[in-house]
Structure 1
Amino acid sequence: MKRRPGSVFEVVCAFLTLSCCFGFYLPGLAPVSFCGEESDDCKKEIQLFVNRLDSVESVLPYEYDVFDFCQDAQELRPSENLGQVLFGERIETSPYKFALYKNKECEKVCTKSYDVSKPEEKSKLDFLKKGIQLNYQHHWIVDNMPVTWCYNVEDGQKYCNPGFPIGCFVDGNGHPKDACVISAQFNGKNTYYMFNHVDITITYHSGEEEGWRGARLVSATLEPRSYKHEDENKPLCDGEPMSISGDPNSNAKITYTYSVRFEKNNQIKWASRWDYILVSMPHTNIQWFSIMNSLVIVLFLSGMVAMIMLRTLHKDIARYNQVDQEDAQEESGWKQVHGDVFRPPRRGMLLSIFLGQGTQIFIMTFITLFLACLGFLSPANRGALMTCAVVLWVLLGTPAGYVSARMYKTFGGEKWKTNVLLTALLCPGIVFADFFIMNLILWVEGSSAAIPFGTLIAILALWFGISVPLTFAGAYFGFKKKAIEHPVRTNQIPRQIPEQSFFTKPLPGIVMGGILPFGCIFIQLFFILNSIWSHQMYYMFGFLFLVFIILLITCSEATMLLCYFHLCAEDYHWWWRSFLTSSFTAFYLLVYAVHYFFSKLQIIGMASTILYFGYTMIMVLIFFLFTGTIGFFACFWFVSKIYSVVKVD
């Protein structure tokens, strides 16, 4: 049957996509107007902010001042939220300050001289060369908007990069690296070329005809240049590029300059000023189709799984209820284990702890993605995504404690103090220990991503001061309620499990169970890993939310189907298996992350490698708890449902 145009499916997809691409300012970042003179509703000076520098060849970001660039005499740091601190963003003012409508040509900022006979200056120059060789990128901000470097790529398309390199390197064989390929002037062997000049273009929307004063900035772009200024007091932005010899005993002198030009464009609205950046993201047009195609395939497969499962069960239950009890037991195997199917699992304490933590992560993820779809957690609102996730996790300790305690009581456990303590401390403790070790490495390397000691204390205060008490409160209500009642009684003597075929043994079923859920996320996973490790902007929260819903459905249906097959084989050990079947998707996530590291990234250095896999293990653990919890509760509902429908004693 053809789906008619304008169906509910299309409307939902269109709403989610548009709300994420064009709804950044709906929740409310207020526009700022700039005028030729200062007033209450208008700013005169346009301040350029600088953020941390990062590289695709290193996981270690560094602050702007570490590279000894020109600094602001009155350096100020705007207040940063928790998410910005955790992501290592270090925003500060720069000496680049502009007045609206006033164009400037080859304006000097400062001059830096390096005498290699002085150890301190030699160390600074060596660090600058290392940054050029690793292709570290500037990230500048004007009016809360990234200053982009736009250039043409394949097929005449324009790509706008929210960063630009500090320089480039030509090796001893004369092979240019990175940005040195853009010009034949970069031809010296074993030479570093510094981008010490930028041509900045600021586009504004005038309010003359719209009832508000001044102008609002709608784009900021630049072109990095390299010029060797012979006279630092009278710089001329032409001639040879600014080169630094690869000889460690050579001195260097760098003069930094800039040009700024203002352009009026009333066709671009302030609310849509991010569009030119998002539209130019690499492979975006192709991936829209690929993601939708993946969603349709996963929906089709999920529908097939549901149809096969429901038709088989309906036929099986109907036939069982129409014949005598003895005949039914001879016909089918899943009914013969009704006296053992709700037998408490081994290590029920650990399973209940995982379920509590998984519930906490699931609710946190759902609310975070929903808010992101509404535009509250857009890239324009820096650090909001991580801040929201951390705050939600802290406040959701009550559901974690409640679910863990309730399930542990259902399993017949009696060590309630141990249960609640481990629920509050085990998984968060593993994550914090991993995070702390990674932070020590960042601190030793002098990276800006190292979390300050005060912030670590604040995180511990949130954990022990809010999350742990809320977990205890949830556990109190969970233990206070009676255990979940099962539809059938459990026999005193366990039934012997017959010899299983290869496909109904635990390990093959668990390995197969994670394939389908991983198939619905690997495209989005590529974009997510790119945004984390390749420093690309992620904004497709609408499609991510749809993939999230599809992942829930797929994990549930795959787990229920395999659980049914195992029960038919008279294997009633489904508790742990239902959790591990869907959580094995995390293993495929780990394999994909390893593949991504070796095939897509250019990361070098032991510290960067350890950091990559250290943070990856945190992601894998969170995904393990999340998917396992979804599969378990889907299977728990499924088993309770089928054994409550049939007439078993």
Structure 2
Amino acid sequence: MLQIKALFYLTMLALSLVQLVSSDEHNHVYEEGEEVVLWMNTVGPYHNRQETYTYFSLPFCRGPKQDIAHYHETLGEALQGVELELSGLDIDFNVPVKRTTYCEVTLSEEKAEAFIYAVKNHYWYQMYIDDLPIWGIVGEISKDDPPQFYLWTHKKLDIGVNAKQIVDVNLTSDSKVLIKPGAKVTFSYEVTFKPSKVQFADRFDKYLDPSFFQHRIHWFSIFNSFMMVVFLVGLVSMILMRTLRKDYDRYNKADDVDDLERDLGDEYGWKQVHGDVFRAPTQPLLFSVLIGSGLQLACVILAVVSLAMLVEMYTERGSLLSATIFVYAAASPVGGFVGGALYARSGGRKWIKQAVVQALFIPALLTSVALSVNLIAIGYRASRSLPVLHSIAMLAILGFVILPLSLVGTVLGRNLAGQPNLPCRRWFMEPPVICLLGGLLPFGSIFIEMYFVFTSFWAYKVYYVFGFSFLVFLILLCVTGCVTVVCAYFLLNSEDYRWQWCSFLSGASTALYLYMYAVYYFFFKTKMYGLFQTSFYFGYMALFCAALALVCGAIGFVATSLFVRKIYSTVKID
């Protein structure tokens, strides 16, 4: 008992010491003369944003200060390739530093070639002071013929201060040196502090681009998508209120006639398949997993975007990705419940297999892409390669959080699902054609917003207009639901009862058009090159589109299911 108490108090003491040591960076409040840490993050080619390496993979040298332990990044930071290392530069709060040499490097043949390659490929690097990002260019190319390659050797940091907090940091690179073997390069730095009127809460505003994200085209796209929703809702309402009402009236007139005199040939269209429309879909296990995963992802997107609207997540490195992982794990019962209930209603017996597949489907999909990209990243020695400890952490989250919660949801869904309820066209009424056409309008409602999202992720923009993304996502859900209902009506009216997969694929085909747009964006809107960046782009875009396909497909199935149950609820079967 005494040992347990001692261990408890030692743990609390250690935590308090850690908090005291790092109180400045956590609280962002500095006392006069208190240490300000300059962290070096990554370096890489400007046009390949995701191809990044540790800063000291280039033959830069560190400053003399070495009394701070290595920065331990969070899971979200590790997945985003953040790899902070101490610069070794001595900076104290509100204490100016005149031009000071902190190290010297004699360029060997190998080091000179490394710097020349970096300058030739427009390498840039990133640093952090008090969680504020700073960017700089490694060097520049002269306009001579043949060109000369120069290295910037002096860093001047201008730090804006409001009260006891850092609110602004600017970097000026100076003193370029010709890169050649045998050259002696002297690296120096300079720090100035100046009062600033910028409030701490507004210090990230300089990194945002309102003129880009709040452009009138952006507003017009939202309005255009909203009008599309109004049109589609009106179309679906017309089908329900006019076409179906006429069918109902015609069908109900038969109640006034003797049953023996009814001409069954008078019934046509969607009523002809009333005995088959509630049959279980083919491949019920796979279908239930796809629907459950899609609705789980829809809940995750709604929760994360709503949270991002309330909390400025872009101010903290990796916070959005960390929140997504947490919300996905917490939403595992949703996928398990929906998938388990649908599988049970379809008459499925292998519920344990369904539960395991449901829990592992999205992680397996993610792992298949991430592992391939990670192997290439390891070959490139890029910072995007996932460390072993963080891989173990992801497996632990999967095994001890996601899998149990998904199993709980599956058991609940299976027990609450109830008993199973199993009861020549023109070319444009064929299911493949309907499925392909079904994704056009949903894609049209989001493709302009996708341009802004792509630009923020693949280029150098900070995405902060989560209100726009929330509205666009709601519009996407409405458009997808309406379109799949119309597609299902056309399919049923052509006397084809196989609406389940058609409703899912009609919504999911939106992702096909988005991936085609991603291919266009890569070749015509970016200057990316190289195996690593290309594989990273197309691999993770395929993963993103697969997630979108699951979400839209699941929403399409739910909307169509409600529609089908509604229209067949009043059909009288003798």
The two structures have a TM-score, normalised by structure 1, of: 0.78
Secondary structure of the equivalent of 1:57?
coil
Secondary structure of the equivalent of 1:98?
coil
Identity of aligned residues (%): 29
The answer to which of 324-333 and 126-135 deviates more is: 324-333
Matched, 1:81 2:74: yes
Separation (CA, whole Å) in 1 of partners of 2:453 and 2:232: 28
Deviations 1:583-627 (A, max 9, x none): 011111211111111112222222322222222222122111111
Secondary structure of the equivalent of 1:423?
helix
Q: CA deviation at 1:282?
A: 6.6
Match of 2:44 among 42, 54, 79: 54
Matched, 1:359 2:295: yes
Secondary structure of the equivalent of 2:89?
strand
Secondary structure of the equivalent of 1:51?
strand
Aligned to 2:515: 590
Aligned to 1:275: 205
User: Alpha carbons of 1:576 and 1:354: their partners in 2 closer, same or farther (altered >3 Å)?
Assistant: same
Contact (CA 8 Å) 2:141, 2:150: kept in 1 or not?
yes
Contact (CA 8 Å) 1:114, 1:125: kept in 2 or not?
yes
Separation (CA, whole Å) in 2 of partners of 1:263 and 1:193: 30
Separation (CA, whole Å) in 1 of partners of 2:94 and 2:389: 43
Aligned to 2:5: none
Aligned to 2:236: 309
Contact (CA 8 Å) 1:31, 1:216: kept in 2 or not?
no
Unaligned runs of 5+ in 1: 1-28, 38-43, 117-121, 148-162, 175-186, 207-214, 228-240, 491-498
Q: Match of 1:191, as an amino acid? A: Q
Aligned to 1:20: none
Matched, 1:262 2:190: no
Q: Match of 1:587, as an amino acid? A: L
Q: CA deviation at 1:301?
A: 1.4
Aligned to 1:192: 149
Aligned to 2:172: 223
Secondary structure of the equivalent of 1:402?
helix
Secondary structure of the equivalent of 2:185?
strand
Contact (CA 8 Å) 2:112, 2:179: kept in 1 or not?
no
Matched, 1:252 2:172: no
Matched, 1:390 2:377: no
Separation (CA, whole Å) in 2 of partners of 1:538 and 1:329: 59
Deviations 1:307-344 (A, max 9, x none): 12212321234334434235897375122221221121
Contact (CA 8 Å) 1:321, 1:647: kept in 2 or not?
no
Q: CA deviation at 1:485?
A: 6.8
Contact (CA 8 Å) 1:560, 1:635: kept in 2 or not?
yes
User: Alpha carbons of 1:399 and 1:36: their partners in 2 closer, same or farther (altered >3 Å)?
Assistant: closer
Separation (CA, whole Å) in 1 of partners of 2:59 and 2:82: 18
Aligned to 1:205: 162
Tell me which protein shows more helix as a share of its residues: 2
Q: Match of 1:60, as an amino acid? A: E
Deviations 1:109-143 (A, max 9, x none): 22111222xxxxx1x33233222222222212222
Deviations 1:57-84 (A, max 9, x none): 3332111121122324415333321100
Separation (CA, whole Å) in 2 of partners of 1:578 and 1:56: 43
Separation (CA, whole Å) in 2 of partners of 1:92 and 1:244: 25
User: Alpha carbons of 1:81 and 1:462: their partners in 2 closer, same or farther (altered >3 Å)?
Assistant: same
Contact (CA 8 Å) 1:56, 1:601: kept in 2 or not?
no
Contact (CA 8 Å) 2:151, 2:177: kept in 1 or not?
yes
User: Alpha carbons of 1:30 and 1:79: their partners in 2 closer, same or farther (altered >3 Å)?
Assistant: closer
Matched, 1:330 2:253: no
Aligned to 2:305: 369
Secondary structure of the equivalent of 2:278?
coil
Separation (CA, whole Å) in 2 of partners of 1:586 and 1:219: 41
Q: CA deviation at 1:47?
A: 2.2
Name the count of aligned residue pairs.
Answer: 538
Deviations 1:146-188 (A, max 9, x none): 23xxxxxxxxxxxxxxx22111234xxx4xxxxxxxxxxxx46
Aligned to 1:467: 402
Separation (CA, whole Å) in 2 of partners of 1:623 and 1:484: 31
Contact (CA 8 Å) 2:36, 2:93: kept in 1 or not?
yes
User: Alpha carbons of 1:115 and 1:301: their partners in 2 closer, same or farther (altered >3 Å)?
Assistant: closer
Q: Match of 1:81, as an amino acid? A: T
Contact (CA 8 Å) 2:35, 2:93: kept in 1 or not?
yes
Aligned to 1:65: 56
Q: CA deviation at 1:629?
A: 0.7
Secondary structure of the equivalent of 2:389?
helix
Q: Match of 2:404, as an amino acid? A: P
Separation (CA, whole Å) in 2 of partners of 1:531 and 1:321: 51
CA RMSD of superposed structures (Å): 2.3
Separation (CA, whole Å) in 1 of partners of 2:464 and 2:90: 30
Unaligned runs of 5+ in 2: 1-24, 255-261
Aligned to 1:558: 483
Match of 1:454 among 389, 403, 408: 389
User: Alpha carbons of 1:648 and 1:97: their partners in 2 closer, same or farther (altered >3 Å)?
Assistant: farther
User: Alpha carbons of 1:537 and 1:88: their partners in 2 closer, same or farther (altered >3 Å)?
Assistant: same
Deviations 1:349-377 (A, max 9, x none): 2111111211221111111111111015x
Secondary structure of the equivalent of 1:258?
strand
Separation (CA, whole Å) in 1 of partners of 2:92 and 2:218: 44
Separation (CA, whole Å) in 2 of partners of 1:356 and 1:419: 11
The answer to which of 366-375 and 430-439 deviates more is: 430-439
The answer to which of 323-332 and 394-403 deviates more is: 323-332
The answer to which of 573-582 and 63-72 deviates more is: 63-72
Separation (CA, whole Å) in 2 of partners of 1:317 and 1:515: 25
Q: Match of 1:283, as an amino acid? A: F
User: Alpha carbons of 1:477 and 1:102: their partners in 2 closer, same or farther (altered >3 Å)?
Assistant: closer
Contact (CA 8 Å) 1:164, 1:224: kept in 2 or not?
yes
Match of 1:319 among 217, 228, 246: 246
Q: Match of 1:361, as an amino acid? A: L
Q: CA deviation at 1:348?
A: 1.6
The two structures have a TM-score, normalised by structure 2, of: 0.88
